[in-house]
Every structure is written in structure tokens, then in C-alpha cells.
Structure 1
Amino acid sequence: MKLNAVQVKQTLTQMDAQVVPDDHPAVNQLVELYGDHTYFLDQGGLKVLEETGSDTPAGEVVSLADWTDSTCISLRAHKPTPTGVVIVLDQMKH
């Protein structure tokens, strides 16, 4: 799910992560692999939000890749895995 600026701010108040900027060299490859999302990096690795489909605007955090070691320099992709963490959003993008 691609988030607008308000949604990114809301997400970052509920999740300790950094946004991967749209102009980052890896974003084009990420979009080819996983689709048009706002990508986040946290202590566990690479994450995105997927719509929950509930009446409340929200996105579930889905893990796409884990750090290969404690230096947090290299990622190892894996099957997209829901984390069970839900981010509540006040405003959905249409």
C-alpha cells in the first residue's frame, strides 16, 4: 500500500522505523518485486503495510526481508510474512 505523507507520519508514530525514500536507488527494484508500496526499514528488516480490509482504515505490517546480521547493512528477502502488527490510519489514500 502506498501511503501519503499524513499516513507515513501516522505510521511512524506507531512503528519504530525509517521510510525508504522514493528516490533511493533500490526503490525501483523493490517496486518490481513487491509492487508500489511505501517501504520501511526497522530493526528487523524491510517492511510494508497491507490493507487490513476492515472498516477501520488500517494496514498490517508485512515483513519482506530480514537483516543478514547485526550490522544492518544487507537484507535477505523471504516470502512476505504478516507480523500481526496493525497500524491504524486516520486517512486512507484513494
Structure 2
Amino acid sequence: MKLNSTQVEQTLNQMNAHVLPDDHPAVTQLTDVFGDHTFFLDESGLKVLEPAEAPEMEIQSGEVVSLADWTDSTLTSLTPHAPELTGTTIVFREIKH
């Protein structure tokens, strides 16, 4: 799921990660492999959000999905794996101006 700037900010407030900016050299390759997402890196690897299946909730949310794990202690090399739900849900709050 591709996030807008408000959703990125709300995600970063709810999980300890860094967002890869759209102009980062790796984003094109990651998009080719995993599809059009906003990509996050945390202490365990590469993550994206997928829309949460919660029709009873009016608030939009996303489930954190792990796509790749770090293979070294310096966090410089990733190994992709089958998408895995992490059990973390990010809730997006509507901002009213």
C-alpha cells in the first residue's frame, strides 16, 4: 500500500522504523519486486503495510508485513522471504483542519 505523507508520519509514530524516500535508489528495484508500496526499514528488515481487513472499523488501518530480513549485524544486506504478517496494525487517524 502506498501511503501519503500523513499516513507515513502516523506509521512512524506507531513503529520504530525509517521510511525509504521515493527518490532512494533502491525503491525502483523494490517496487519491481514487491509492487507499489511505501517501504520501511527497521531493526529486523524490510516492511510494508497492507490494508487491514476490518469492515466493522470505520478507521482505516494497515497491517505491517515483513518482506526481507537483515543478513548481517551492520544492517547492510537484506534477504527476501515470503511475506509474513508481523502482528502489528497501524491505525490511521483522520486529520481534521
Superposition TM-score, scaled by structure 2 size: 0.90
Higher alpha-carbon Rg: 2
Identity of aligned residues (%): 62
Q: CA offset at residue 74 of structure 1?
A: 0.4
Q: Report the number of matched residues.
A: 91
Runs of 4+ in 1 over 4 A off after TM superposition: none
User: Are residue 82 (structure 1) and residue 71 (structure 2) matched?
Assistant: no
Superposition CA RMSD, Å: 0.8
Q: Deviation of residue 7 (structure 1)?
A: 0.4
Which of the pair has the greater relative contact order for Cα pairs under 8 Å at 6+ separation?
1
In structure 2, C-alpha distance between the alignment counterparts of 1:34 and 1:18, rounded to whole Å: 18
- In structure 2, runs of 5+ residues without a counterpart are none
1:2-21 maps to which residues of 2 (within 5 A)? 2-21=2-21
Counterpart secondary structure, 1:73: coil
